[in-house]
Amino acid sequence: MRLAVYDSAARFIGMTEKSNNNDAKWIAIINKAAGLPDRAHYCASAFNYVHAVNGIRLPVGDGVGMVRSYFSNTKVIVYRRSQRGNQRTGLKPRRMDAVSLYYSHIEAIAQDNFDPDEDETVRVIGFNTTGGKGTKGGCYVNTRKTSEIKLIANWLTPYWAKQHP
């Protein structure tokens, strides 16, 4: 299931905006599926989209396009950076777990094994981001510092457990 969701996201890798203004046909399709305007910010709606095309409905209600919606349910948070040290629950982060970066941006883990207590970096796949200096906004796999991560949420394990009791 995790690999299927990743593969759905990976088909967008390298696709870019026309003029760095959230403007491309593929972005409009993603946003339309979420009920958002064609040129809305699409990091969160794309995260939802790659799950939805695999039949996975993430329970974020009307917040499909809002990053905070993916991190408001404390039951799915598996990692939280804090001033008293990083806190991880019993579950280790896995491929396609949601990663909260910066003030309001979401990406997903793009590798199988990641331990935020041990690893200094993590590969992530993200939408409405760049691939480095001189690149247009679009979909890329980037390496992020673990210290940049605010939260990690595991939506897929609870979904799977509910579907397959």
Give the pLDDT confidence of 59-111 residue by residue, as tens digits: 998 899 999 999 999 999 999 887 666 676 668 899 999 999 977 999 999 99
- Residue that has been written with the tokens 């990053």 in this structure: 67
pTM: 0.93
| pLDDT digit string, tens, across residues 130-141 | 998 889 999 999
From CA 66, how far away is CA 87, in angstroms rounded? 24
The pLDDT confidence band at residue 18, using thresholds 50, 70 and 90, is: very high
Tell the burial category of 132 from Cβ atoms under 10 Å away from its Cβ (0-12, 13-18, 19+): exposed
What pLDDT score does 122 carry? 97
The pLDDT of residue 1 is 94
User: In the predicted model, is pLDDT for residue 114 greater than 70?
Assistant: yes
pLDDT computed for residue 161 by the predictor: 84
Backbone φ and ψ for 100, nearest 5 degrees, come out as -95, 120
State how far the Cα of 50 lies from the Cα of 47, in Å rounded to an integer. Answer: 6
Tokens of 117: 């207590």
Count of beta carbons in the 10 Å neighbourhood of residue 16: 18
pLDDT given at position 88: 65
Which pLDDT value is given to residue 7? 98
> Which amino acid, one-letter code, is at 50?
V
The predicted pLDDT at position 165 comes to 76
What pLDDT is stored for residue 98 in this prediction?
97
